[in-house]
Chains A and B, each alone.
Chain A
């Protein structure tokens, strides 16, 4: 579910070249130019808001943002991570 939320956000808000759509979980985000410096910041702010975490800038390394799978793996490794669904449940 988290991967769908992230993939949907990237596809909707960050992709400038429609040729890369539709995205899948292994579409390279950095190498293909989908994410540049400012769109990566947008994505980080979205993830912080969506999953209730505060990301240190030292965590923003290419390995964590190479593709959607890598982002999800990184998120699940964090102790303060809340899945998108559980966070929405809590809000409700």
Chain B
């Protein structure tokens, strides 16, 4: 289960992520940082203008390069061997390297998705099949808005943009992490605002509602959006922040007992908004995706039980398409969730 040191470390990483650089040389990290800027700023925007097949081939090539140049690649591969334990027989040890390579390809493809949100997002829309849109339309007929619960899974920002582009006003509860990293210069923050947030916010009803310590109005703002019959999205898979720990619920997740915050269910119960699950997964050709929206989750049980059903849905989505989950390479998130043993004084376990 979670240990306080892990949580403190996670929050300190958000504030000063240079701590991540303990593995690998400073030059390796600078190269990686420069590479990311080049990909987001130049390569991906240009490649996104190509026909889809070529666009995503460029993305896959970039993902391969990222994987080859990982400063802590050996440590990450060793850590990924925990996958077998977490997912049962879902992945064999010899598949780990292929899995890791695909993971980085998927991340590069997600950047390409955002670049294809230009205009009315048609360049991306023609590659994504949305299943269950009728569930969302039906939920909104009640006039209380709708909450889409997801995970850091698949191209959730890109595909949710398509929901907004399809006429459902949508706002996301989530942080732009560069705003919380004290190590970034204001110039770099501005870059990410332009290269990343601007593209997403073009397909949002309002700016992200960013939960953080002392920002207590987020749930009220979300309730206000729901009152206007809008869609609010939220990922429920991150490890809880220190302030939320007392509200966390233990739930079966990826073969362990994880601690997660059931805020999405509390919000649904307080506002009366229907709660639906939504997960996007990428096809084997890397460019086509499917976004599946569930029927409303029944809310008549107590909040913890309802939330455990949401966690079960996240668990099933990750097991079905494990490469789409973001947190495999984020050891601190896995530790924070209680999925991975926290490092001991002698070193990582």
Residue numbers in A under 8 Å from B246 (CB-CB): 16
Residue numbers in A under 8 Å from B214 (CB-CB): 30, 62
- The docked-state distance in angstroms from the alpha carbon of A38 to that of B303 is 13
Q: Does B69 contact A (CB under 8 A)?
A: no
Among candidates A33, A45, A60, residue contacting B217 with C-beta atoms closer than 8 Å = A60
Q: Is the interface of B mostly helix, strand, loop or mixed?
A: helix
Among candidates A37, A44, A62, residue contacting B218 with C-beta atoms closer than 8 Å = A37
- The answer to whether residues A60 and B244 also contact, given A37-B211, A41-B267, A45-B270 and a CB cut-off of 8 A, is no
Q: Does A57 contact B (CB under 8 A)?
A: yes
List the 3 closest A-B pairs by CB distance, nearest first: A57-B224, A41-B219, A37-B219
Question: A38 contacts B263, CB within 8 Å?
Answer: yes
Question: A38 contacts B224, CB within 8 Å?
Answer: no
Q: Does B223 contact A (CB under 8 A)?
A: yes
- From residue 62 to 91 of chain A, which have CB atoms closer than 8 A to chain B? 62, 65
- From residue 25 to 48 of chain A, which have CB atoms closer than 8 A to chain B? 30, 33, 35-38, 40-42, 44-45
> B204-244 vs A: 1/0 string, CB under 8 Å?
00000001001111111101100000000000000000011
Q: How many residues of A contact B (CB 8 A)?
A: 19
- From residue 240 to 282 of chain B, which have CB atoms closer than 8 A to chain A? 243-244, 246-247, 263, 266-267, 270
> A43-63 vs B: 1/0 string, CB under 8 Å?
011000000000111001110
Q: How far is the CB of B213 from chain A (nearest CB, A)?
A: 9
Mark B residues whose CB is within 8 Å of A: 211, 214-221, 223-224, 243-244, 246-247, 263, 266-267, 270
- The docked-state distance in angstroms from the alpha carbon of A60 to that of B219 is 10
- The docked-state distance in angstroms from the alpha carbon of A28 to that of B315 is 39
Residue of A nearest to B218 (CB): A37
Residue numbers in B under 8 Å from A35 (CB-CB): 216
- The docked-state distance in angstroms from the alpha carbon of A33 to that of B241 is 13
- The docked-state distance in angstroms from the alpha carbon of A60 to that of B217 is 6
Question: B215 contacts A38, CB within 8 Å?
Answer: no
Question: B220 contacts A44, CB within 8 Å?
Answer: yes
- The answer to whether residues A62 and B270 also contact, given A36-B243, A37-B263 and a CB cut-off of 8 A, is no
- The docked-state distance in angstroms from the alpha carbon of A57 to that of B224 is 6
- The docked-state distance in angstroms from the alpha carbon of A55 to that of B220 is 10
